[in-house]
């Protein structure tokens, strides 16, 4: 039997089934242990330091106790601390991105995904470079600066060369005042050599969802194709790091397995990366299974309700305080509203989840990867965020200034991130307002920018930010950053 070792490079040792089962038992036994729970909450709370704030985070065992606890008073405290942590390290900024689907050709048999190879009802489509250009122009015209590219796994149709060519095309398009400044990549697990190529192509985060950490279920849910190999998939982030990518994004597809098991596995994965590479995941995504083509989410037994979903997200926030948490348009406006208060720091907006979806008037459904719940335009999402007190940020400065991996985390951990991210958010928001916003959004936006500028503590930084925003309004000068 494999023994738990977070420093091991073997999937069955760092995501150890025995340790997860022990954790769930421990959590169940202690879910009413008030003294222990209060000490865990105290540990999770941000502490003020001379340079800002610091947070201890929680181990997978500690966080699992909180997740198991059903006391409404404790839940209230968990939510309060989640919001405190979010505000301490990310402020009221919310980073905006959009997915770009390149190809839905796929050789895998994932039973929950409409791109699975046996699905004959879905038209297969792969963007040409001309089509990529057209999609990018459409995305730039909406105001997007940050993309997550998505593709099925198909060595013939979507080899790494195709993905690299698409990245090059995306970065080459500069339409009007637009450009895409960060391309994150969500493609299947691959080799160290290919990760190195992605790094050289200038990608931001490499994102790969584990789908489920439960090996037996994983094997059943991925019956055919290269993705069937649980170990290869689970060890992908280690290879990505070895290939030089130091921002990686984890995620679980909630609904496939029991959420408490997934939660412990996800945190163990984060602990593993921290232990081996000295830096945890850059982001964690919390997708939930959705209806799509020949996929009926009700056919899966482990769906979670909105309350449980919110609790999981808040507990992730407490456990890994410096990681960005991403929520997509799989979720409705109502759910997104709630989660934004519990630690989410990135949202997608105006998304189309079909191949070629941004260049068609009508939202196409035939090649959609999942049903989009939040169907508002980016302009509507931006205004809604501001009306709820969040600053929509189109900033991509950190990675372009080399602040990735442990350098980003160091900035975040000392609370320094607030000194440059806040003005960067306001400058990129001003670009958005000037170039793309509707009159209504413009009005709300500039009011917010004006108010928020006053909150920049350093006089010098504030003066520079104010000057840059004046230049954005008066000219076509763009892309200012600290
Ligand atoms: N093909 C790549 C892979 O296998 O990892 C990644 C791209 S796939 C387009 C992105 C993610 O969509 C998957 O990792 C999965 O978690 C999610 N997904 C698949 N089917 C879904 C569904 N029916 N509802 C919600 N999300 C889904």
Task: Note the pLDDT tens digit of each residue in 466-480.
Answer: 999 999 999 999 999
Q: What is the Å distance from ligand 1's center to 113 Cα?
A: 6
Q: What would the pLDDT profile of 239-279 be if each residue is shown by its tens digit?
A: 999 999 999 999 999 999 999 999 999 999 999 999 999 99
Cβ count within 10 A of residue 50: 6
Query: Nearest 5 degrees, angle CA 424-CA 427-CA 430?
Result: 150
Place of tokens 């209504």: 440
Torsion angle, alpha carbons of 313, 318, 319, 322, to 10: 100
What separation, in Å, do the N-terminal and C-terminal C-alpha atoms of the chain show?
A: 51
Q: What is the pLDDT of residues 132-186, one digit of tens each?
A: 999 999 999 999 999 999 999 999 999 999 999 999 999 999 999 999 999 999 9
Q: What pLDDT digit, counting tens, does each position of 144-159 carry?
A: 999 999 999 999 999 9
Q: Ligand 1 within 6 A of 190 CB?
A: no
DSSP state of 201: T
The atom number, within ligand 1, closest to the CA of 189 reads 5
Contacts with 457 (C-beta within 8 Å, 6 or more apart), sequence order: 419
Contact assessment for residue 139 and residue 212, using Cβ atoms and an 8 Å cutoff: no
- Angle (CA) 216-115-251 rounded to 5° is 50
Which protein residue has the closest C-alpha to ligand 1 atom 13? 209
65 in contact with ligand 1, CB cutoff 6 A? no
Q: Is 387 helix (H, G, I), strand (E, B) or coil?
A: helix
Provide the pLDDT for residue 53: 81
Quick check: helix, strand or coil at residue 90? helix
User: Which of 357, 369, 371 is the pocket-test mutation for ligand 1 (most atoms within 8 Å of CB)?
Assistant: 369
**Ligand 1 center to residue 370 CA distance, Å?**
9
> Is 289 a pocket residue for ligand 1 (Cβ < 6 Å)?
yes
Q: Residue 10's CB: how many other CB atoms inside 10 A?
A: 14
**Does residue 369 have its Cβ closer than 6 Å to ligand 1?**
yes
CB 102 within 8 A of CB 354: no
* CA 472 to ligand 1 center in whole angstroms: 38
Distances in Å between the Cα of 294 and the Cα atoms of 253, 366, 369, 398 are: 17, 11, 11, 40
Gap from CA of 211 to ligand 1 centroid (Å):
8
The confidence band for 414, taking pLDDT boundaries of 50, 70 and 90, is low
The whole-angstrom separation of Cα 189 and Cα 437 is 38
């Amino acid at each position: 039997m494999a023994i738990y070792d977070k420093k091991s490079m073997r999937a069955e040792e760092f995501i150890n089934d025995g340790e997860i089962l022990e954790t769930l038992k421990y959590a169940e036994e202690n879910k009413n242990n008030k003294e222990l729970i209060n000490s865990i909450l105290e540990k999770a709370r941000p502490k003020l330091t001379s340079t800002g704030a610091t947070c201890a985070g929680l181990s997978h065992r500690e966080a699992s106790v909180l997740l198991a606890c059903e006391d409404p008073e404790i839940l209230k405290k968990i939510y309060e601390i989640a919001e405190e942590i979010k505000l301490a390290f990310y402020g009221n900024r919310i980073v905006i991105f959009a997915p770009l689907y390149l190809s839905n050709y796929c050789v895998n048999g994932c039973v929950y995904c409409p791109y699975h190879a046996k699905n004959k009802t879905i038209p297969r489509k792969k963007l040409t470079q001309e089509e990529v250009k057209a999609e990018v122009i459409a995305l730039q015209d909406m105001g997007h600066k940050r993309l997550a590219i998505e593709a099925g796994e198909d060595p013939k149709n979507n080899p790494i060369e195709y993905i690299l060519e698409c990245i090059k095309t995306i970065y080459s398009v500069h339409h009007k005042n637009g450009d895409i400044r960060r391309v994150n990549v969500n493609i299947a697990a691959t080799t160290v050599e290919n990760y190195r190529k992605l790094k050289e192509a200038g990608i931001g985060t490499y994102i790969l969802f584990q789908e489920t950490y439960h090996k037996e279920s994983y094997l059943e849910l991925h019956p055919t194709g290269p993705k069937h190999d649980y170990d290869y998939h689970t060890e992908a982030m280690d290879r990505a790091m070895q290939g030089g990518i130091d921002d990686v994004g984890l995620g679980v597809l909630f609904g496939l397995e029991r959420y408490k098991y997934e939660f412990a596995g996800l945190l163990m994965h984060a602990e593993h990366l921290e232990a081996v590479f000295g830096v945890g995941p850059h982001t964690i995504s919390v997708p939930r299974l959705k209806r799509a083509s020949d996929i009926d989410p009700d056919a899966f037994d482990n769906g979670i309700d909105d309350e449980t979903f919110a609790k999981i997200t808040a507990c992730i926030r407490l456990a890994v305080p410096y990681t960005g948490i991403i929520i997509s348009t799989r979720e409705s406006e109502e759910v997104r509203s709630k989660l934004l208060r519990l630690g989410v720091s990135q949202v997608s907006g105006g998304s189309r989840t079909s191949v070629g979806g941004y260049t068609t008037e009508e939202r196409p459904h035939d090649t959609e990867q999942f049903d989009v719940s939040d169907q508002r335009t980016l302009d509507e999402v931006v205004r809604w965020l501001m009306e709820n007190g969040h600053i929509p940020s189109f900033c991509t400065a950190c990675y372009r200034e080399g602040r990735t991996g442990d350098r980003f985390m160091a900035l975040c951990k000392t609370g320094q991130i607030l000194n440059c991210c806040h003005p960067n958010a306001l400058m990129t928001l001003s670009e958005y307002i000037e170039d793309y916003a509707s009159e209504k959004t413009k009005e709300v936006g500039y009011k917010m920018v004006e108010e928020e500028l006053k909150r920049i503590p350093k006089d010098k930084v504030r003066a520079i930010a104010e000057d840059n925003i004046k230049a954005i309004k008066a000219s076509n000068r763009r892309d200012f950053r600290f």
